[in-house]
Amino acid sequence: MTSQTAGNYLLFLFILLILLGFRDNQAARDELARIIDATRNLTQALKNETYNANSTKSLPDELQRDIRHLLALNNETTHGRYYQNITGTFRGQWQGKELALAEHNGTYNESNRGQFLFNSSGNAIMSLATYPTRNTSVAFIEGSIRLDNERESDRGAYFFLEGLHYQQNGTIFLVGAPNNTAEASNITALMPDEAMFNETKSVLLGVYDKRIAELEAQLARGEGIIPGQDQMGTEETGCYLRLYLQLKAIAPDIALSDVAQYEKELHHPTGMPVMSMPPPLEASLLSYSNNCGIEITASSMDGMLVGEFYHRVALLSIAAAIVGIAQILLMISQMEYTQTPTGITKIAYWTITLQCIMDGYVCVGLLTAALVLRQVFLPLVTAAFFALVLITICEVRYWGLVRRIQLLSGDSDSSDNSAYIRFYVLAICSLLVYWMAGSRSVAWQEIVLGIGFVIGHSSWWPQVWRNIQRGTRKPFQKRYIIGMTMARLACPLYMFACPENLIYHRSTPWIWTLVAYDALQVIVLCIQDRFGPRFLVPQRFLPQVYNYHPILPTPDDVEAATESRDCCICMRPVEIVPRDHMPGSSIGLARNAYMLTPCDHLFHTPCLEQAACQLGTMCDGRACQGISASL
| Segment 42-85, tens digit of pLDDT | 888 888 888 876 666 667 888 888 888 888 766 555 457 899 99
Residue ranges of E strands in 292-402:
294-305
Q: Are 467 and 473 in contact (CB under 8 A)?
A: yes
Which one of 141-150, 380-389, 397-406, 569-578 scores highest in mean pLDDT?
380-389
- With a cut of 50, say whether residue 342 has pLDDT above it: yes
The H or E element containing residue 30 is helix 25-47
- With a cut of 80, say whether residue 546 has pLDDT above it: no
- Exposure of 75 by Cβ count < 10 A (0-12 exposed, 13-18 middle, 19+ buried)? exposed
Degrees, nearest 5: CA angle 60-76-255 = 140
Q: How confident is the model at residue 333 (pLDDT cuts 50, 70, 90)?
A: very high
pLDDT in tens, 255-312: 878 888 888 887 777 778 888 788 999 999 999 998 888 999 998 999 999 989 999 9
pLDDT in tens, 473-513: 889 999 999 999 999 999 999 988 998 888 888 788 889 99
Mean pLDDT (whole number) for 21-35: 69
pLDDT of residue 619: 46
Q: Please give the Cα distance from 86 to 444 (Å, whole number).
A: 34
Buried b / exposed e across 201-213, counting CB within 10 Å, b at 16+?
bebbbebbeebbe
pLDDT of residue 622: 44
Mean of pLDDT over the chain? 81
Q: How far is CA 53 from the centre of its chain?
A: 49
pLDDT in tens, 203-217: 999 998 998 888 888
C-beta atoms surrounding 130 within 10 Å: 20
Buried b / exposed e across 255-281, counting CB within 10 Å, b at 16+?
eeeebeebbbbbeeeeeeebeeebbeb
Which amino acid is it at 467?
Answer: N
pLDDT of residue 153: 56
- With a cut of 90, say whether residue 536 has pLDDT above it: no
pLDDT in tens, 343-380: 888 999 999 999 998 998 899 899 999 999 988 999 99
Which amino acid is it at 625?
Answer: Q
> What pairing do the DSSP bridges indicate for beta strands 241-247 and 156-166?
unpaired
Q: Please give the Cα distance from 575 to 566 (Å, whole number).
A: 9
pLDDT of residue 285: 95
Q: Please give the Cα distance from 386 to 276 (Å, whole number).
A: 31
Mean pLDDT (whole number) for 131-158: 85
Q: Which residues pair with 596 in a beta bridge?
A: 602
- With a cut of 90, say whether residue 322 has pLDDT above it: yes
Q: How confident is the model at residue 218 (pLDDT cuts 50, 70, 90)?
A: confident
The gap between the terminal CA atoms of the chain, to the nearest Å, is 35
Q: How confident is the model at residue 179 (pLDDT cuts 50, 70, 90)?
A: confident
pLDDT of residue 337: 92
- CA distances, 99 to each of 64, 104, 294 (Å): 12, 10, 5
